[in-house]
């Protein structure tokens, strides 16, 4: 499945380079119009990152997210600085189908596991961003990629298997925003080790051939951000490529 992504700061559509707020590109696009454009092209899910809410949960862009959901054009998964059950509940009440949880899954796994149990595995996506060292160790980054933990990706997944976590969005930080292609090997390894998880590949997709290259990894979703915003290809072309690869 092709899942276009949209990052929002103060109502504007933006992209950050490797999570750095100082390396921001703003696009002159209306977020609700983007929903319609992507839906017209065949997208059935949209990934929303609330970067304003990630910095300050009191400023979460709930009204904007709600207006996007109310188009009823597709389903939505959304996140950005999820720190409390209130944050989860607010997004679900706004009509989001899946809440995306990042750093907290590493910092407070017991708490996040409670939410997976309470709301169900279908309602939670773990967003695990990894730094891969020279020995191939995959360490999960936290705090918007500003810090690397000493917790491995495999350890997090083994822990969350206890509550049947189903959806994991995994990003190789070194690829994000670079348009240099996805880390296919990463997803192949993870899919083989954790076949019950529906993997979403994120980071580095710059051309249609990068989408084709992911087919052997058997990921369930391909997140597309910058490439779509910069017109490298359309959602319609990406879907056709994924279906025909």
Per-residue confidence band for 144, with pLDDT thresholds at 50, 70 and 90: low
Please give the Cα distance from 149 to 142 (Å, whole number). Answer: 7
The residues near 198 (Cβ < 8 Å, ≥ 6 apart) are 166, 167, 168, 220, 221
Q: Is 129 a catalytic residue?
A: yes
Q: Show the DSSP H helices in 25-76 as ranges.
A: 31-40, 51-55, 62-69
Position 18 pLDDT exceeds 80 = no
Q: Is 20 a catalytic residue?
A: no
Residue 16 confidence (pLDDT): 81
Position 17 pLDDT exceeds 80 = no
Query: Which of 50, 129, 172, 176 is an active site residue?
Result: 129
Give the pairing of strands 12-17 and 2-9. Answer: antiparallel
**Tell me: the pLDDT tens digits for 165-199?**
999 999 998 887 777 889 999 999 999 999 999 99
Among 14-23, 89-98, 112-121, 167-176, whose mean pLDDT is lowest?
14-23
Residue 100 confidence (pLDDT): 98
Q: Is the dihedral of CA 84, 89, 94, 100 positive or negative?
A: positive
* Domains contained in the chain, CATH given: 2-244 (3.20.20.70)
Region at 204 (left for phi over 0; alpha for psi -120 to 50; beta for the rest): left
**Tell me: the pLDDT tens digits for 106-117?**
999 999 999 999
- H/E stretch holding 13 reads strand 12-17
Please give the Cα distance from 203 to 59 (Å, whole number). Answer: 26
Residue 178 confidence (pLDDT): 73
CB distance 45 to 77 below 8 Å: yes
**Three-class DSSP category at 149:** strand
**Tell me: the pLDDT tens digits for 62-84?**
999 999 999 999 999 999 989 99
Position 242 pLDDT exceeds 70 = yes
> If you ran DSSP here, which 8-state letter would residue 76 be given?
E
Q: What angle do CA 67, 5, 213 make, to 5 degrees?
A: 155
**Three-class DSSP category at 83:** coil
Query: Region 26-37: what's the mean pLDDT?
Result: 96
């Amino acid at each position: 499945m092709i899942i276009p992504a949209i990052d929002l700061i103060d109502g504007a559509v933006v992209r950050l380079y490797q999570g750095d707020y100082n390396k921001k590109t703003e696009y002159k696009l209306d977020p609700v119009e983007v929903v319609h454009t992507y839906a017209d092209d065949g997208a059935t899910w949209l990934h929303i990152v609330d970067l304003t809410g990630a910095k300050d949960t009191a400023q979460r862009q709930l009204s904007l997210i709600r207006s996007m959901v109310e188009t009823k054009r597709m389903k939505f998964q959304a996140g950005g600085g999820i720190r409390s059950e209130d944050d989860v509940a607010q997004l679900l009440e706004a009509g989001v189908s899946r809440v995306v949880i990042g750093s907290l899954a590493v910092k407070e796994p017991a708490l996040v596991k409670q939410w997976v149990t309470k709301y169900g595995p279908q309602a939670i996506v773990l967003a695990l961003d990894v730094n891969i060292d020279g020995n191939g160790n995959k360490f999960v980054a936290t705090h918007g990629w500003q810090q690397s933990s000493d917790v491995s990706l495999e350890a997090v997944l083994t822990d969350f298997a206890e509550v049947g976590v189903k959806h994991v969005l995994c990003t190789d930080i070194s690829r994000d925003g670079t348009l240099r292609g996805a880390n296919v090997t990463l997803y192949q390894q993870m899919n083989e080790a954790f076949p019950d998880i529906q993997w979403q590949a994120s980071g580095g997709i710059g051309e249609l051939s990068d989408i084709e290259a992911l087919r052997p990894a058997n990921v369930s979703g391909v997140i597309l951000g910058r490439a779509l915003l910069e017109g490298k290809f359309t959602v319609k072309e990406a879907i056709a490529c994924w279906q025909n690869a």
